Amino acid sequence: MSASRTELLRWQFELSWSLFEYHLERLEPEDFLWEPAAHCWTMRRGPDGGWVPDWADTEPDPVPVPTLAWVSWHLGWWWSVTLDHARGRPPRDREDIAWPGEGAPTIEWLRDLRTEWLKVLDDLTDPDLDATAPFPWPNDPEHTVAHMLAWVNAELMKNASEIGQLRLLRAASAQDVVR
């Protein structure tokens, strides 16, 4: 018996998450704000003490190298907005997605997003996958809920690999200093 489309997308998500979890388990608070290059985007304290992402409405040239903090905020931002759409809630603005800070708070936030996403997946049936995607291609009948789920899986894998690479680069650069 073959897996349903929902089961296949769930399997793909769980595979991506398991690879991400490998890095989440090994992150140190110092990894988050480590700047891998002079030209980078990161999270900075705002006037109210909250964290604010570096941002430009048009992509700069050259593109800044993001810190792990920025990538983790970005992941939390797009996933939170996707969850809003998937649950039929009004989507939050970018400025409304708060990054919790270095270390455990962000790791817990990302794991909580996973838990909420799993509930979305649990509520889906194969016929639901054929509905028009509410996000990130609003009102485009060419893109279905199945496309949205596949997009989440791809974005998660991309952000997981970026976070993993930044973690590994920081660890390698610390070893270079010790030598």
CATH assignment at residue 105: 1.20.120.450
Which domain, by its residues, includes 46?
5-178
Residue 119 pLDDT grade (very low, low, confident, very high; cuts 50, 70, 90) = very high
Residues near 33 by Cβ (< 8 Å), separated by ≥ 6? 42, 43, 67, 68, 69, 102
Model confidence at 178: pLDDT above 70: no
Over the stretch 75-106, which tens digit does the pLDDT of each residue have? 999 999 999 999 999 999 999 999 999 999 99
H or E element, residue 41: strand 40-41
Give the number of domains in the chain.
Answer: 1
Cα 28 from Cα 19, distance rounded (Å): 17
Q: pTM for this structure?
A: 0.93
Across 72-162, the runs of DSSP E, i.e. the strands, are: none
